[in-house]
Amino acid sequence: MSFDKNTVNVEGLVTLAPHYRADKASVTFDISSNYELKGVQKNVIIPIVSYGETAKAVLTKLTQGTKVYIMGMLRRDKEGNLIIAALEVLVEE
């Protein structure tokens, strides 16, 4: 399975699971119009695996329903699940 390393901009609403961890969150998002990945539907929930302390700090403060904009890499993990490796996370308060 090949990983897609292209940078992607996504936006959406945060949905936190009860077992939410500081370094991981899920966001229901729309893939930006200039980026398409075969087999990926819009408005799906994909975990964010953050890079760097800044992204982690932002992710720890997310609350249910927060609007989030992410710039990062959309790729698949070893199990084939889609994840976002976040390079930058912007939160709309």
Where do the domains of the chain lie? Answer: 7-92
Task: Name the token pair of 88.
Answer: 């930058």
Topology of the domain covering 7-92: OB fold (Dihydrolipoamide Acetyltransferase, E2P) (2.40.50)
d(CA 55, CA 87): 7
d(CA 3, CA 52): 21
Using DSSP's 3-state secondary structure scheme, residue 55 falls into helix
Residue 27: pLDDT over 70: no
Q: Looking at the whole model, is its pTM more than 0.85?
A: no
Mean pLDDT of the chain: 61
pLDDT at 33: 40
Q: 15: pLDDT confidence band, cut at 50, 70 and 90? A: low
